[in-house]
Amino acid sequence: MLSRPADEVAPLLLGARLVGRGVTIRLTEVEAYLGESDPGSHAFRGPTPRTRTMFGEPGHLYVYFSYGMHVCANVVCSPPGTASAILLRAGEVIDGVELAWERRTTASRDADLARGPARLTRALGIRLDDDGASLAGQPFRLEPVGDPLPALRGPRVGVSGEGGSEAFPLRFWIAGDPTVSVYRPAAPRGVRRSAGPLSPR
């Protein structure tokens, strides 16, 4: 399933379960990044030490720092040599809720535990050194759903420099789910937006 372009795989991940370090999350929101053909992708300018995982085998985590403080995680897809990945934007904690609360002590309710990419990684215990980790065993396991769920599709959150967000409607989410993060368009060039808790990509 994962050896395909990110925009084909992304909607198939909605409803999938991601198990990690004692917590299970049902994915409710994801974003596709298409590598060297996608100005919003870290891999747009080709392989670098930071992005080498994106050019590797599908079914692994690509993990990076956002704004120098937040850890974000992606599922690598497409055949090796083609950088394509899916940002895990939000999910519902369905197992290990107490442990997720220990990791996310500032959450206000269960629906906020993994609502946003940085919150999701913290709830699952994903660290920067998990870059390249397999999703087929321990400590992380991805369990796809049997039948794809109906998905809504729209522009990605906070992505700039791509010639208008409408050109890249690569965000997918489950309609009406309370764990889906707040949509924020990219700030105009020259305008700095403060990094709120839901803004990292």
Q: Which domains does the chain have, with CATH numbers?
A: 6-173 (3.10.300.10)
pLDDT in tens, 120-156: 999 999 999 999 999 998 999 999 988 888 899 999 8
Radius of gyration of the chain, Cα coordinates, nearest whole angstrom: 15
Q: Is the pLDDT of residue 69 over 90?
A: no
pLDDT in tens, 186-198: 655 444 443 333 3
Instruction: Please say whether the beta carbons of 71 and 122 come within 8 A.
Output: yes
pLDDT of residue 36: 87
pLDDT of residue 188: 52
d(CA 86, CA 9) in angstroms, rounded, equals: 8
pTM above 0.85, yes or no: yes
Sign of CA dihedral 181, 170, 21, 127: negative
pLDDT of residue 199: 31
d(CA 123, CA 171) in angstroms, rounded, equals: 21
Neighbours of 150 (CB within 10 A): 9
Mean pLDDT of 54-79: 92
Amino acid residing at 162: E
